[in-house]
Amino acid sequence: MNRPLILALAATTALSTAGCAYNETLGRSQFLIVDDNALTQQSEAAWAQALRTQPTSSDAAANARVRRVGTRIVEAAGLTDRSWDYAVFVSQKPNAFVLPSGKIGVTTGLLALVRNDDQLAAVLGHEVGHVVARHAAERYSSTAATSLVLSGVQSAAGDYAKAAGAIGGLGAQLGVLLPFSRRHELEADRLGVDYMQRAGYRPSEAVALWRLMAEQRQGSTPEFASTHPSDASRIAALEQYIASQGWN
């Protein structure tokens, strides 16, 4: 084997050994070579940029609603040890996102879609679930390790480096990164339902929410090439989990 590739594989093996940690909330081990604190500065910069470059809603009722429901979910998740901030972004597309530093963005399109606070709690519970599960740090770690191996493959490929990089990059995405992201989404769904229930919201409304999302979605990406599970997959998983907890 080419020396650069050997070094890349050796480095990745060392990182994998050193960065393995057990997450009791998820019931599995995670590969982590960076912690959430290391991502805080990036998160804060990303949040400031979003507020600066994207239109936000001045609707006092909408903002108060997101903050009210979000606060209950955060308390249920036991994450009151950090400062949380919320914003409603003006966009017709139903969407929401979370940053590990404790920032949640929700679009006006999402608020128009949800039919009650329980469904909004399902969205916010899902986003907070990502933070509890340390998915951002795990995703960052996996991407960094994959990039390290691919750089070694390209160095070993010589004149074929460009082709190897393109093929290797696609294979890594479909075989490692995208499926892993789908796993994150399903874990966040489950944790979100837990937090909904603890906060006094109806877990069954998480299923109703995803049915609404499925109805309004135009077109779809095959699940094997998507960072998110199909609507049918996540609805089935939620129904099974809610039934197993006796929350029907």
Q: Which residue is listed with tokens 């795990």?
A: 138
Long-range contacts of 19-25, Cβ-Cβ distance < 8 Å, separation of 24 or more: 19/141, 23/133, 23/134, 25/132, 25/133, 25/191
Dihedrals phi, psi of 217, to nearest 5 degrees: -70, 130
- Name the E strands within 78-221: 85-89, 96-99, 103-107
H/E segment holding residue 79: none
Dihedrals phi, psi of 195, to nearest 5 degrees: -70, -35
Among 127, 138, 187, 205, which one carries the catalytic annotation? 127
Q: Is 138 a catalytic residue?
A: no
Query: What is the set of active-site residues?
Result: 127
